[in-house]
Amino acid sequence: MNRRKFVWNTALTSLGGLVGINYLKGNNSIAEDIKSSINGGFMLDNPTIISTWKFGIEANVAAYEVLSKGGNALDAVEAGVRVPEADLNNTSVGRAGYPDRDGYVTLDACIMDKDGNAGSVAFIQHIAHPISVARAVMEKTPHVMIVGDGALQFALENGFKKEELLTENAKKAWEEWKKKNNYTPPISPNNHDTIGMLAIDKEGNISGACTTSGLAFKMHGRVGDSPIIGAGMYADNAVGGAAATGLGEAVIKIAGSFLVVEAMRTGKTPQQACEMAVHRIIEKQKNYKDIQVGFIAINKNGERGAYSIVKGFQYAFHQKGENKVYDSDYHLK
């Protein structure tokens, strides 16, 4: 007998004395309610994936391919976010990302598993898949975060290929920006886009990943929220997970993703928790009308939530065989 059947049969046996096994067998809705309550309310045969932005659709497909074959959530989120990292049409994540104001493409990423282990790289150059380097940091070192030249050195020592990441399109955009701007990093609701992803596998375990090229034309050396555990992404296997997108500085100041997860721990739904985090930013950030921040979250029941400051934030959600893009609700109407 496999583990799933054992858990199900044990649950039925334990509940049989209270409501009667024969009654359960004759009432499918009650039986399904009991089955869905196993593992904290999440049905084991229903893996769930949520990711930020419309390009999360393709990322979700790659993640679900892992989960549908019985793979774990950690492998799924890594495989998922590697898709936009490799997309030459995506100018905010990975190898085709826009450079900083000095023309350097610098990338950030973090990953977290079901046991609370985490890995991160920040301000890394010349590596197309920072998420995989972040996982290597988690699994092969006693550290959580490695940055800059040290991150590149670590990547090369572990078999990653050094590449030139500044594409012709990104270089052209940077040169046009230099003509029109006084070397000042732009802050606006439209200068963002990170992919954050959370997944729950068939065992009911959750993992998360986040990766970005950061704010376009940022100051050289700037790092946002994406590689920071508890800011850009956070997962707790007893509760759920959250990820952020938008102006990283605002997210860092409130430890945004950690705040969302802790709100769910106190009983808030994922939607309520995301709204609370956005409202916290609004309370603290005087220029909130000029920026965008959005959060996504899922709890261990597979329930989702998403909320942003201004209109335009989208997220992709994969559950029960359906993979769709949704418009997030938002604060500024």
> What's the pLDDT tens digit per position in 69-121?
999 999 999 999 999 999 999 999 999 999 999 999 999 999 999 999 999 99
Same domain, 15 and 126: no
Q: Which residues pair with 242 in a beta bridge?
A: 234, 297
Are 10 and 107 found together in one domain? no
Report if residue 42 sits inside a domain: no
Same domain, 14 and 125: no
Domain annotation covers residue 60: yes
Q: Express each pLDDT in 212-259 by its tens digit.
A: 999 999 999 999 999 999 999 999 999 999 999 999 999 999 999 999
160 and 274 fall within a common domain: yes
Residue 54 lies in a domain: yes
Q: Domain check: are 147 and 201 in the same one?
A: yes
Host domain of residue 247: 48-330
Model confidence at 11, pLDDT cuts 50, 70, 90, reads very low
> Would residue 43 count as lying in a domain?
no
Average pLDDT, the chain: 88
| Total number of domains in the chain | 2
119 and 148 housed in the same domain = yes
Alpha-carbon gap, residue 7 to 3, rounded angstroms: 6
Helix, strand counts (H, E) of the chain: 11, 13
pLDDT at 323 over 60: yes
pLDDT at 15: 38
pLDDT value for 71: 96
Per-residue confidence (pLDDT) for residue 192, from 0 to 100: 62
| Residue 191's pLDDT band (cuts 50, 70, 90) | low
Average pLDDT over residues 170-182: 92
Q: Which of 48, 106, 167, 194 is catalytic?
A: 194
Query: What strand order describes the sheet that includes 118-124?
Result: 145-147, 118-124, 107-112, 206-212, 195-200, 48-52, 314-319, 322-327
Q: Could you give the CA distance from residue 98 to residue 193 in angstroms, rounded to a whole number?
A: 11
Predicted confidence (pLDDT) per residue in 292-301, tens digit: 999 999 999 9
Least confident of 44-58, 133-147, 306-320: 44-58
* Residue 194: active-site member: yes
Provide the b/e sequence for 242-264 (b: ≥16 CB within 10 Å): bbbbbbbbbbbebbbbbbbbbbb
Q: According to the model, what pLDDT value does residue 27 have?
A: 44
At residue 182, the pLDDT reads 83
The answer to whether residues 16 and 135 belong to one domain is: no
Residue 202 sits in the same domain as residue 258? yes
**Domain co-membership, 180 together with 316:** yes
205 and 304, same domain (yes or no): yes
In a domain, 296, yes or no: yes
- Same domain? For 182 and 324 the reply is yes
- Which CATH number belongs to the domain containing residue 254 in this structure? 3.60.20.30
Examine the domain organization and report whether 9 and 61 are in the same domain.
no
Residue 177 domain flag: yes
